[in-house]
Structure 1
Amino acid sequence: MAGIRIDGKVIAQTVKDRVKQAVTELKRQGVNPCLATILVGEDPASATYVRNKHKACKEVGIDTRDHKVDSKITQIELNSIIDSLNSDSLVHGILVQLPLPKHLDEFAATSRISPLKDVDGLTPHNAGLLAMKKAMLVACTPSGVMEMFDYHKIDLDGKNVVLINRSNLVGKPLYHLLLEKNATVITCHSKTKNLKQICQAADIIITAVGDREKFTLTADMIKEGSIVIDVAISRFHKKIVGDSDYDQIIQKASFATPVPGGVGPMTVAMLLKNTITASSLSTQIGR
């Protein structure tokens, strides 16, 4: 019997509905939630991502500011834009679209964002707070995965979870979020040995490799009744795919996410939620 398809579009809409209500309440208090984005260069994928984020903001009533700058911008010039947005009390969230051109320092740019406006949850301050279980603003994709678990009432207490990713954007934040829910977490990566055997013992597998030429999570790698969350997205044989062989995985797993239509919509929804959180924080410090 096939497992349950975790529909990211449906769950994301529930988050957007809550955000829309929060926007109405904040505006009643005289606060107009605002997200500022910085897009460096003209990378088509990045431009699409930013456009989709602005569209989602409009749907829920969040104001946006769109900063598109030339790919030859210097680090000093980029820093100046970030500083300006940090000091602007009408801007509550700041997002620097990644990746940046190679001559720019991504860590320096994201670290420069005020922790109170860090809607991507990438500043060292917010990453540290997450490790201490005190974070208010958490990376969007990991928090979206946790929202999926909550929606389906999946209890993580004592579950063996295998994370196939160790990035600052996905793997590391998820590790801390899962620990907070009392899961037992194993982080795997390109140097991990016996990955198949490790996965076969897992109750939950969260994979985010993003390169089907090198890795595919197949049905023989999971145990019966496990849960598979596919965070990856890439183009393979002219199709948008994740890491997992979904059609086969869903026949064996109890729950699984498709690609597209799984985790992807959650990332944008949690960005909206983070913007509302940042807007609320601004009211608490009198800005």
Structure 2
Amino acid sequence: MKDYLVLISCICFLAFLVPGRFRKYFAVGGWASIVGYLFLELPYYFSLNNFMYPIIALLSVPFLYITIKYLLLGDPRVMQLSGIAAVAFLIFAPFAYIPALGDWLIAIVVNQTSAALAAVGYPVNLDAWNLVERNGFRTEIILACTGIQSIAIMLGVAWGVQSTLRQKVIGFLVVFPTIYVLNIVRNVFVITAYTEQWFPFLPQIAGNGEFGYESFFWAHNVMAELGALVFLVVLAYALFMVLPELGTLADNLYRLYRSEVERILRPKAARSDLQP
């Protein structure tokens, strides 16, 4: 079911790119499908003791409510945000739904991660085309380990706003090589930390019954996730410098969602603010 939701979301956002009076309804379907997918994925993330995505799923509920409300009103800010999501899906979809293309990208990342590990004096073995091993610990490289999601999202941010061709090219040069290289570094860190058992701490919250999993949990689910979040914020700031229109959109969206959250949390205060 959850795979169908991803496909539905992809189709809806791609349909949103086609001009027409039903665009906002396609955007509603796209956002609703994404949120539904996040909640259906919760059992998987709980099995990995991954706290980041459950938090995102929880926060997505008010986000979805506010987004749908303003999409139905045809608000240009939320329509532009949906355009960013649509561009991101346009970039991500080929790798997600064409197996040969996705496997090609995974194979490249596996080879480059292995080469980087060897370069820092930590060679690994390949148990399979996308499975690296050292010290008896194996790590599988999947599409999520290629950085393509982050690249698609940030390129969607860079290309989803009105800008010149020069700005789009600069945005690509800021986003793609930076995320790609840092994702290889991330893979090197996670694999080394896991196979060398750097962080065997607090198994009661970090363990899943698999020997040595705690080091993977702290390296992948905590340090790498938080590091990626901080990096994406910094990268977004760099894009604001290249695309001033993006900074304006971000500020407008922040004000919109903040005011709506305050209206939800403090309805009486919001009503009094409306009184002359």
Shorter-chain TM-score above 0.5: no
Higher relative contact order (CA 8 A, sep 6+): 1
Decide which structure has greater strand share. 1
Identify, as 1 or 2, the structure richer in helix. 2
Greater C-alpha Rg: 2
Q: TM-score, normalised by structure 1?
A: 0.28
